[in-house]
Chain A
Amino acid sequence: MSSSTRPKQFSFSDRITAANPEVQVMKAANLLLIMFCGWFFLTFLYSGAVLNLSLKFFFLAILVLTLRRWTGALLMALLQIHLFFLEPRVVGSGGAGGEVVWVVATVLLIMAVSRFRTLQEKDEHSTVRRLLSSLNARTVNTHERDASALSRHSFAAFVTVGRPVLLLIACAVLALDLMSLVPPDRTITGLNTIREFRLRPSGYRVIMSGLLLFSAFILGWLVINEVVWRRLSPSQAGIYLRSVSVKWLHRDLRMLTKRRLKMRRRTARHTEHSSTTTIPNDRAETKHVPTDS
């Protein structure tokens, strides 16, 4: 096959067949989660909101249809904007407890979607996946595996599973604290700010807490970024300088390079998918390959 027809060897059907079943299950679970998010938002987010129907569907489309692309932080910002516009609404029958459940469920859903997306991107490097492959290889070639490697993988899998759970709990607690800063209808001074300030009090508090959090984030990010950036190796610094130079001086060249890199990454991804589906056979075959070289 010539090099010009090389990208055509990965058609859509080949991609589907070459993909790992575990990845397919994860994608299906992600799709189900996104559908559940859509139903959840449609049911609870607009309860009692005085908003045009087209605007409701517009915001819902932004929230749901882009869940596969955007990260959790941006979704959290979108939900804050929702709260800013939809705060003077009829409180549900659940009262304050219902609001708490809403906050916790929203944060959990967003974190789960974000985690699924991360796992989809890095499923080849997942330690859980490595544990499963090591277990599989242990059943096939028991004499080639030792118990220490299995225990090491088990600990790594425990850390991999436990870290997102801790992250979920921390984010839920943080979101609860943040939401408690937003009063239902009054400010700290107890004044009616809707009439006096021509601004909804909860929206005002959201803006204030958002700005304060943002300024704190900028300061922390500056310090961490500078500390990390000064540890660059000379080769990494050279790569960065060349990339900035190309970005500033040769936009067309940068566009071509990015397109080539994109195609190369896609090809590599397909190759990895097809190779991981045939790992046991490859290992079995490599045992009989002569090692003269």
Chain B
Amino acid sequence: MFLLIRETAGWLLVLASLYLVRMGIGYVSNPDEARVVEAAVVMFAAMGLLRAGILLVRISTAARICHREQQQ
């Protein structure tokens, strides 16, 4: 159960990072008001979130593989 919660949290972080990436693209997609600096800041935050989310997903996946092996 704890592994499932951890993996769900990881995927939520990944989704949040993808939303931030979309927001960063939205900042510069309008040529009338291309806010490059804001887009860079948002993309930097998105990278941090993506890294954390991927780490959580990887750890929970590896832990589940080990747990399954121990149960067998």
Given A197-B31, A241-B59: A207 touches B65 (CB 8 Å cut-off): no
Chain B residues near A232 (CB, 8 Å)? 61-62, 65
**Closest CB-CB distance, B43 to chain A, in whole Å?**
7
A237 near B66: Cβ-Cβ < 8 Å: yes
A241 to B67 CA separation, bound complex (whole angstroms):
12
**Count of A-B contacts judged by CB separation below 8 Å:** 69
A193 near B66: Cβ-Cβ < 8 Å: no
Given A215-B25, A218-B21, A218-B50: A234 touches B34 (CB 8 Å cut-off): no
Measured CB to CB, the nearest residue on chain A to B30 is A197
Chain B residues near A196 (CB, 8 Å)? 32
A189 to B30 CA separation, bound complex (whole angstroms):
12
Residues of A within 8 A of B (CB-CB), count? 29
The yes or no answer to A139 lying at the interface (CB within 8 A) is no
A12 to B50 CA separation, bound complex (whole angstroms):
43
CB-contact partner of A197 in B25, B34, B59, B62, under 8 A: B34
A187 near B31: Cβ-Cβ < 8 Å: yes
Give the dominant DSSP class at A's interface: helix
Measured CB to CB, the nearest residue on chain B to A238 is B66
The yes or no answer to A230 lying at the interface (CB within 8 A) is yes
Within 8 A of A (CB), among B22-51: 22, 24-25, 28-29, 31-32, 34, 36, 39, 43, 50
Chain A residues near B61 (CB, 8 Å)? 229-230, 232, 237
Chain B residues near A214 (CB, 8 Å)? 21
The yes or no answer to A29 lying at the interface (CB within 8 A) is no
Give the dominant DSSP class at B's interface: helix
Measured CB to CB, the nearest residue on chain A to B65 is A237
Given A204-B31, A237-B62: A211 touches B39 (CB 8 Å cut-off): yes
The yes or no answer to B63 lying at the interface (CB within 8 A) is yes
A215 near B36: Cβ-Cβ < 8 Å: no
The yes or no answer to A147 lying at the interface (CB within 8 A) is no
Within 8 A of B (CB), among A202-256: 204, 207-208, 211-212, 214-215, 218-219, 222, 225-226, 229-230, 232-234, 236-238, 240-241, 244
A sample of 19 cross-chain residue pairs with beta-carbon separation below 8 angstroms, ordered by A number, consists of A196-B32, A197-B32, A204-B31, A207-B34, A211-B21, A211-B25, A211-B28, A215-B21, A218-B18, A218-B50, A222-B14, A222-B54, A230-B61, A232-B61, A234-B68, A234-B69, A237-B63, A240-B62, A241-B62
Chain B residues with a Cβ under 8 A of chain A: 14, 18, 21-22, 24-25, 28-29, 31-32, 34, 36, 39, 43, 50, 54-55, 57-59, 61-63, 65-66, 68-69
